[in-house]
Amino acid sequence: MKCIFCSKLVEKGKGLMFVRKDGKVLEFCSKKCERNMLNLGRNQNNMKWSKKREE
């Protein structure tokens, strides 16, 4: 699995999983990625340390 924010590979049994009310599952490699996306509302394309994601 890949981290939804920084696109790093997340080993099975590691990382954080967040499930939204609509049922969408978000996988994070660290608390840093989770905070940046959910609490701070940052875009991963604007962060120097994360890979740009194309959608």
pTM above 0.75, yes or no: no
Read off the pLDDT band of 52 (50, 70, 90).
low
Q: Residues 37, 5: contact at Cβ < 8 Å?
A: yes
| Tokens 């954080």, residue located | 16
Report the pLDDT value the prediction gives residue 17, as an integer from 0 to 100.
92
Report the pLDDT value the prediction gives residue 27, as an integer from 0 to 100.
92
Q: Is the pLDDT of residue 55 over 60?
A: no
pLDDT tens, residue by residue, 9-38: 888 888 999 999 999 998 999 898 888 888
27 SS3 class: strand
| Tokens 């994070």, residue located | 28
Q: Is the pLDDT of residue 3 over 60?
A: yes
Which CATH code, of 2.30.170.20, 3.40.50.10490, 3.40.50.1100, 3.40.50.300, is assigned to 1-44?
A: 2.30.170.20
